[in-house]
Amino acid sequence: MDLNKLKTNIRKFFSNPNTLTFILVIFLIIVIYGVYSYMVKQAVAPVSVPYSTEQLKSMTEIKDESIGSVKISGNFISSNGSGLLQQSRQIRNKYVKPGYMIPENSFFYQEAIAESSIAEKTSFSDLPNDYTIYELKLNNGFHETYGCSIMTGNYIDLYFQSQDTSDQSHPKLIFEKFITSIQVLKVIDKNGLDVFTESPDEEPKPTAMWFAVPTQFFELLRIAENLPGSKIIPVPRNAAYSANPGDTEIANDAVEAFILQNASSKQ
C-alpha cells in the first residue's frame, strides 16, 4: 500500500467542504441528543424532598418529628421554581413565618420559613391555642390603615371586596363585612418592625398587619386573598369596640360561601 497516496486521499477527503459539513452535522446531532437525554433523565429522576407530617401553625418550631421525606420527579421541582426547599437542614429547628400556616402533607417553601431570630421578635405568648397569626399585606399602608389610626391592640372588622361574574351580562360588586372583632397584633414596616415602637422612620410606613384569628378563619382568609380581583379591607372601630371585644366571627355566611365556591371553581 502506498502510504503517501493514502495520506493524500485522506487529506482530500477532509478538505472537501461537503465532507466537513456532514461531519459537523453528525457531531451536532450527537451533542443535541446527549443534552436532551441528560435533561430527560434529570426531569424524571426521583428526588427526595421534605414535607410536613402535620399541620404547622404560624410561629411553630419545625422539629424532626414534623418532617417527612418523599420522592418526587425532578420536573415537579423545576415547575415549582426555586422556592421549594429540598433539604431537611434548610427547615430543621426553624419556624413557620408569621402570617403563614403549613398544611399536613405539604411541601416546605422558602417564603413560609423564618429564622429563630425573627420568631423571637414576633412571639405572642398569650395567643390562644386554636388561634394563629394572619398577615394582611398592604399596598398603600398609610391610607389602608386610615392614616395609621389602626394600632397594635385594636379590634377591627375585615370587609371583603370582589366581583360576582356568575351573570356575565350583569356583574355585581361585592363589598360586605366579612369577619368581626379581629385583634391587631402588630402593624409592621418592610423590615418587619413595629411602625409605632421599633421602626427608625420618622413617619410610619406600614406594609402589613398581623392579626390573631382562629385557625379555620386563617385558611378562609388565605383563600379569599388569592381570588382574582378580590381584596381584604381592614376597617377600624371606636375605642369602646376594642375595650369590649366580642368573639371573632364570620359576619356574612353568603360571603364565605362565595369565597369557597369560587375557589373550587378555579381548581
pLDDT digits (tens, 9 = 90+) for 238-257: 888 888 888 889 999 999 99
Other beta carbons within 10 angstroms of residue 134's beta carbon come to: 29
Does residue 33 carry a pLDDT above 70? yes
Task: Work out the percent of the chain whose per-residue pLDDT is above 90.
Answer: 19
Determine the 3-state secondary structure of 228 from DSSP. coil
Which three three-digit cell numbers place residue 90?
434548610
Share of residues in the chain with pLDDT > 70 (%)? 82
CA 32 vs CA 1, 128, 192, 203: distances in Å: 39, 59, 49, 59
Instruction: Choose between 47 and 99: higher pLDDT.
Output: 47
Mean pLDDT, rounded, for 83-109: 86
Q: Is 192 helix (H, G, I), strand (E, B) or coil?
A: coil
State the pLDDT confidence band at 16, using cuts at 50, 70 and 90.
low
Place of cell 411541601: 107
Average pLDDT over residues 135-163: 89
Of the pLDDT bands very low, low, confident and very high (cuts 50, 70, 90), residue 124 is low
Helix (H) or strand (E) holding 100: none
**Does the pLDDT of residue 177 top 90, yes or no?**
yes
Instruction: Give the pLDDT confidence score for residue 168 in this predicted structure.
Output: 79
In this prediction, residues 98-116 reach a mean pLDDT of 84
| 200 pLDDT higher than 80 | no
Residue 16 DSSP label: -
Fold of 45-118: Type Iii Antifreeze Protein Isoform Hplc 12 (3.90.1210)
0.85 exceeded by pTM = no
Per-domain residue ranges of the chain: 45-118, 124-267
Residue 78's pLDDT band, with cuts at 50, 70 and 90, is low
Query: What backbone torsions phi and psi does residue 134 show, to the nearest 5 degrees?
Result: -110, 135
**In sequence order, which residues have a C-beta less than 8 Å from that of residue 178 and are 6 or more positions away?**
157, 158, 159, 160, 224, 232, 250, 251, 252, 255
Task: Please give the residue that has the higher pLDDT: either 118 or 160.
Answer: 160
pLDDT at 24: 81
Residue-level pLDDT at 121: 57
Biggest distance spanned by C-alpha atoms of the chain: 111
Mean pLDDT (whole number) for 55-75: 85
CA atoms within a 13 Å half-sphere pointing along the CA-CB vector of 57:
17
Mean per-residue pLDDT of the chain: 82
pLDDT band at 13 (very low <50, low <70, confident <90, very high): low
